[in-house]
Amino acid sequence: MLFMLLYSDMKEVASGCIPWRRMKNGTVEVLMVLRTGGYWEFPKGKQEKGETDGETALRELKEETNLKGELSTEHPISLKYSFSRNGVKVDKQVKFFMCEVGLKSKVSIEKKEVTDYIWLPVEDIEQKATYPQVKEAAREACKRLSV
């Protein structure tokens, strides 16, 4: 039985934000974070017991960037993908919420999971994203932000 538990597929649920701000000149910028593993993506994390998807997204945004924002009322961008962790297949579902943050909001990263951040013009986020599923979320974010 222990063998089956160790080697069966795992399922993970995570939520995150695609933080954006509108500059005074009307352009839109989106925040991306550099993970300690060396890849660029949006702030996100695993759901804690009793949290809604939106609560998880806002908590992770605050923990990783010290930003607060307002979630869009649109449906989140939902992604499903699989990867291997220590030889075990992980099926992951992630929901990204569009999240407007204030123009004067200051980012302060927590160094445990995130090593850097960058504000990019919305049309550049797909190119910056490291993994295909993040690129997919970036493409949808561009559509939603009318770029």
According to DSSP, the β-strands at 40-41 and 88-100 are: unpaired
Distance (Å, whole) CA 141 – CA 79: 13
Q: Are 113 and 36 in contact (CB under 8 A)?
A: yes
- Report pLDDT for 109: 92
Domains of the chain in start order, with CATH, are 10-144 (3.90.79.10)
Distance (Å, whole) CA 115 – CA 70: 24
- Report pLDDT for 6: 53
Burial label, 96 (beta-carbon count in 10 A; 0-12, 13-18, 19+)? buried
pLDDT tens digits, the chain, 147 residues: what are they?
Answer: 444 455 557 888 899 999 999 999 999 999 999 999 999 999 999 999 999 999 999 999 999 999 999 999 889 999 998 888 889 898 999 999 999 999 989 999 978 899 999 999 999 999 999 999 999 999 999 999 985
- Report pLDDT for 82: 87
What are the residues facing 52 on neighbouring strands? none
